[in-house]
Amino acid sequence: MMARWQELARSMNPALETFTPRAMEAMWPTMPRDWMEMVFGNAWNKEGLDAKSRLLLTLAGLTMQGAQADSQIRITVRHLVEAGATRQEIVEAIGMMSVFAGLPAMTRAMHLAQEALEEREDDGNDEA
Q: Residue 90 and residue 42: Cα distance in Å, rounded?
A: 20
Tell me whether residue 81 is in a domain.
yes
- Per-residue pLDDT, averaged over 79-96, amounts to 95
pLDDT at 127: 55
Number of Cβ atoms within 10 Å of the Cβ of 90: 24
Q: What torsion do the CA atoms of 68, 74, 80, 82 make, to the nearest 10 degrees?
A: -160
Tell me whether residue 12 is in a domain.
no
pLDDT at 32: 73
Closest CA to 57 of 22, 92, 26: 92
Q: Report DSSP letters for 20-41, one per residue.
A: -HHHHHHTSPPPPHHHHHHHTS
Tell me whether residue 44 is in a domain.
no
- Per-residue pLDDT, averaged over 38-49, amounts to 71
Closest CA to 64 of 21, 109, 25: 109
Tell me whether residue 34 is in a domain.
no
Domain count, the chain: 1
Closest CA to 112 of 65, 60, 77: 77
Q: Residue 89 and residue 95: Cα distance in Å, rounded?
A: 10
Is 74's pLDDT higher than 90? yes
pTM above 0.85, yes or no: no
> Using 50, 70 and 90 to split pLDDT, how confident is the model at 120?
confident
Domain range for 77 is 52-128
Tell me whether residue 112 is in a domain.
yes
- Per-residue pLDDT, averaged over 1-19, amounts to 74
Tell me whether residue 71 is in a domain.
yes
Angle formed at CA 29 by CA 127 and CA 79, multiple of 5 degrees? 40
Is 61's pLDDT higher than 90? yes
